[in-house]
Chain A
Amino acid sequence: MIDRTVASPAIGRVVATELKPSTPHQFHFWTGLETAIGIGAIVRVGGTGQGDGGRVVFGVVTDGFAYSDLASPLHDVAGADGDPVRAADAPTVRQEIRLWTAAVLRQEPAEPLQPVPLAQVFLATDTDIARALRMDAYLHSAQPTAVPIGLYSAGGLEAPVYLDADFLLGPEAAHLNLSGVSGLATKTSAVEFLLASIFRHFPAHRGRVAAVCFNVKGSDLCFLDQPGALDDEDRRRYARLDVPAEPFGDVRYFAPFKSDGVNLNTLRTHPDLVGNVEPLVWGLPEVLDFAEVLLNRDDIDAKADAFIDFLSDRVLGREFEDGFGHRHRVQSFADLDALFRAIFDGVELTGRGDMWRTHHIATIRKVRNRLSNVSTRCKGLVADDGPSSDLPWGRFEDRAVYVIDIANVDPLGQDLVFARVVSKLREHLERRDLGVDTVVVFVDELNKYAPGEGPETYVKKMLLDISERGRYLGLVLFGAEQFRSQVHRRVVGNAGTQIFGRMDADELATPGYQVLSPATKVKLATLPAGELMVRHPHFTQPIFVRFPRPAVLRGRDGIARFPPAADLPFEDAVVRLMLRIDRGIAPNRVKDLIGGRTPEDVRAAVAAVRRTRPADALAFLRRALGDRVAADAPREREAVPPLSPIGDDPY
């Protein structure tokens, strides 16, 4: 690396013709044939006091041209007698030119804004880069807010490029959007590096910061606390950017159970790692608050909404009398189902017709159908009964990463997790009691969750809400997708910082990329892994940067090094859960306790132990299970009459 802070000799000169004039926003310059200049290089014009009129202009190269003095291709053919081999043997190589087009990044002085002078062109130095990108304002201020995003490099020069935290994480602007083709754009790696950079450089006066990452595919984010393979070049880049080349120090994992309710539904189940994976289990209260997410707008109307509100306000968690002489305290799906059965039985036995407390019996049946469907489709995430296990709301740690693994969760469950987590983050940030002041929420696959077209989903509404109002709260969205043009315009439009990795050529042909020159598009379509194009409010033109590989274990490598454990039989899985709570417990004693018990009872009891964390976990489990009673024959579940056909529904 050459740290160039001293001006080098001129590498080119601005030229202007009537057809290609210099303007205040663009200029052209030529260089020698052997030049370090390329698309994306930052140059300085003037500053020598010779021919520049005291003006200094910084520009970024957006296009390049090469041509010779050949008047017509036919003349080359004639000169070689039509033989390409002979053409290459010509004693003299024709005169050639390397002509470059650059877009103006900054002019000094800014006023009066004038065309770029016909002066000498220099490769930008470190100092020039800071001035060109207007980074000097937040890099050297009394309270610096600079966050390194990568290294700009050209012609042997390598200079750190910084984002302004006030414009990346609010309050001035916020949000980050990453686009690029899968596998080549290194979007996840970029976010991992940027999070590490934010954690290292987040301004002290801005308080505490944490990240919530939704792992929506494979094992991408499953090993953020494990060191990855770095070479010397990576370490040098980390040092240059002043970011520690080490994995995240504080990572908490959350994953729902599988449908058996005891094995975690994540790829991070290797015995060495599963210790810090917390189950994500929600009960009826957590779900009912977000019933809107789960219930299809098209077939839930105002009457059903009203009934759900009635359940939330009047029934949930209260002593409730059903009007038929039974008292209920609904705290779980099982309790709710008992209430529904009591209502249906009561209405039928008393012959009160089709109404119960102003709610039509068909509406009640419909809501029951949908809610029972939730606990079926999201089994493992939504518990029929028993307490919930949730993120540590109010106790978020500074510089901690909370990974929520929903990669293998039903789409309905993913929607629920996303909506609830984001809503809770917003609630706590509004009350300033989350534990941190700023939260970065990373969501991949925005093409799926916030598509530009398609129905208005709750998740899309939540993403729009973060995009448009999150910066005032400290709720920042880092979104990634393959096709930016197919993500909701307001989601990408509100992202103050935009990052592009290797792009698909068809995507680059869409109108959103018209502002880019053909050469920049070609560079984007061929970007190597680890190189990105960055747009940031302070940068008037896109800038190309290179970032080191993340210091964490990549998902694929993590799976190889820490292969997921096979699903355990029910009893063994329960033992493992209990051992996580108290390593001193004898496995056989747990098995003795749960032997002959129904899985539902065991799950509820273990959940209670997990939630309470008692000193004597085994004793608590024994009490939670209650006295052993002779097992009855399984009670046949009373089926709810299906609402068929749906089209006959009077509502």
Chain B
Amino acid sequence: MGDAWLGALYSAGAVPASHVPPGSPGRADLEEVAGAEAVEDADLATYPVTPDSAGPRVATFLDGVQYWKVIGYDGVVPIVRAHLAAAARRRGADRRLRTTAEAGRALLVTALGLVRPGVRAALEASGLALVDIPGDEAGQPGRALEAARGAVERARVELERSLGERVAAALAPDEWLVVDGLLSESAVLAGHPRALGVIKSHGAQYFSGAELERALTLTQGRRTSVFRPRGRARHEVYSWYLRLWPWEGNDLLYGLIRVEARAHPDTVVAASATAGWLARERAPLATPDTRWDRLLYPIWDVEQYLKARTPRELRPAPGSRLPKAAS
């Protein structure tokens, strides 16, 4: 039906808008105070990674994206349109990445209880999935946008999770799955023997004192002991930090990633080899992305793939927001 519903929406009284909130493509980096349980060592230690670890012959990398923008206001209630997508790209013997699975969703997010009946009817007739945000979170436009962001992110995590589980179920016996973000969001992924989560944002801190210093001042090519994250994790996983690039001269978090894997003794045994494999993934560089020091190239490649397929109207416009002439 195309975008004909937009005309009905505006006819019903919604005022057209075209605003992409800053940072809307990215994910929220929630600050979280967490804890950790020692697994490999009683006190957090560091180990060199296995040099030149070959890694699996076949690996699939999974990532997701979210794009959203305000397309109108009914009064001061924002109406948000979102595009969510996730894809898995497999790397085989030829070392090239090819898409093997993908999923996408289009959403309309607003406080349905606060919009006029005609606007609501137009939204319901759009054919897109409607996500309601509670009225008490949408009283102020700023709070409403934060609530919309949370709703979009949850939907994106769910999309990634479902796709990840589908891909994991179809993995070949010698194939590994690397997902961008938490493995612990999914019971299936968290328990899979050949699934890894790579976390490049460090809002959650699991250590304090000397252990925190040891974790955050890792030198290049070393990992921490394996530990069990506490706090936000919904499913049990093991984890460790890994330094891809030397942080000296940059920042404590520069080149630092956290890896999640199945909570199993084999994970501890293989931790150095697995870390060595991931350390090799730092090349080729994921430039020109500014997160290249922590962003593995295959993950960035999946992002680029998804970005290329994102509806153009949802991507931030490079131009200014000057009023349109003669419109």
B127 CB to closest chain A CB (Å) equals 24
A313 within 8 A of partner (CB): no
Pairwise interchain contact B287-A92, C-beta atoms closer than 8 A: no
Interface-lining segment among B26-34, B229-237, B297-305: B297-305
Q: Interface of chain B, helix or strand or loop or mixed?
A: loop
| B236-294 interface (Cβ within 8 A of A) | 277, 280-285, 287-288
**A93 contacts across to B, CB distance below 8 A:** 94-96
Given A86, A89, A95, which contacts B304 in the complex, CB threshold below 8 Å?
A: A95
The residue of chain B having its C-beta at the shortest distance from the C-beta of A78 within the complex is B285
CA distance A72 to B283 in the complex (A): 14
The residue of chain B having its C-beta at the shortest distance from the C-beta of A93 within the complex is B95
The residue of chain A having its C-beta at the shortest distance from the C-beta of B280 within the complex is A91
Q: How large is the interface on A (under 10, 10 to 19, 20 to 34, 35 or more residues)?
A: 10 to 19
B97 within 8 A of partner (CB): yes
B104 within 8 A of partner (CB): no
**A75 contacts across to B, CB distance below 8 A:** 284-285, 287
Pairwise interchain contact A94-B284, C-beta atoms closer than 8 A: yes
Given B281, B285, B287, B304, which contacts A91 in the complex, CB threshold below 8 Å?
A: B281
Using A92-B95, A92-B298, A93-B95 as known contacts, say yes or no to A80 and B283 having CB atoms under 8 A apart.
Answer: yes
Pairwise interchain contact B281-A92, C-beta atoms closer than 8 A: yes
Given B91, B282, B284, B304, which contacts A70 in the complex, CB threshold below 8 Å?
A: B284
Contact with B along A45-76 (1 / 0, CB 8 A): 00000000000000000000000011110011
Pairwise interchain contact B284-A79, C-beta atoms closer than 8 A: yes
Contact with A along B29-48 (1 / 0, CB 8 A): 00000000000000000000
Q: Interface of chain A, helix or strand or loop or mixed?
A: loop
| B170-192 interface (Cβ within 8 A of A) | none
B316 within 8 A of partner (CB): no
Using A91-B280, A92-B97 as known contacts, say yes or no to A72 and B287 having CB atoms under 8 A apart.
Answer: yes
A294 within 8 A of partner (CB): no
**B277 contacts across to A, CB distance below 8 A:** 91
**A71 contacts across to B, CB distance below 8 A:** 287-288
**A94 contacts across to B, CB distance below 8 A:** 284, 297
Pairwise interchain contact A69-B95, C-beta atoms closer than 8 A: no
CA distance A54 to B91 in the complex (A): 39
A90 within 8 A of partner (CB): yes
A69 CB to closest chain B CB (Å) equals 7
Pairwise interchain contact A92-B285, C-beta atoms closer than 8 A: no
CA distance A397 to B94 in the complex (A): 64
A273 within 8 A of partner (CB): no
Contact with A along B91-121 (1 / 0, CB 8 A): 1001111000000000000000000000000
**A16 contacts across to B, CB distance below 8 A:** none
B55 within 8 A of partner (CB): yes
Pairwise interchain contact A76-B288, C-beta atoms closer than 8 A: no
A-B contact pairs, 15 of them (CB 8 A): A71-B287, A75-B284, A75-B285, A76-B285, A80-B283, A86-B283, A90-B95, A90-B283, A90-B284, A91-B91, A91-B277, A91-B283, A92-B298, A93-B96, A94-B297
- Which residue numbers of B lie inside 8 Å of A, CB to CB? 55, 91, 94-97, 277, 280-285, 287-288, 297-298, 301, 304
- Which residue numbers of A lie inside 8 Å of B, CB to CB? 69-72, 75-76, 78-80, 86-87, 89-95
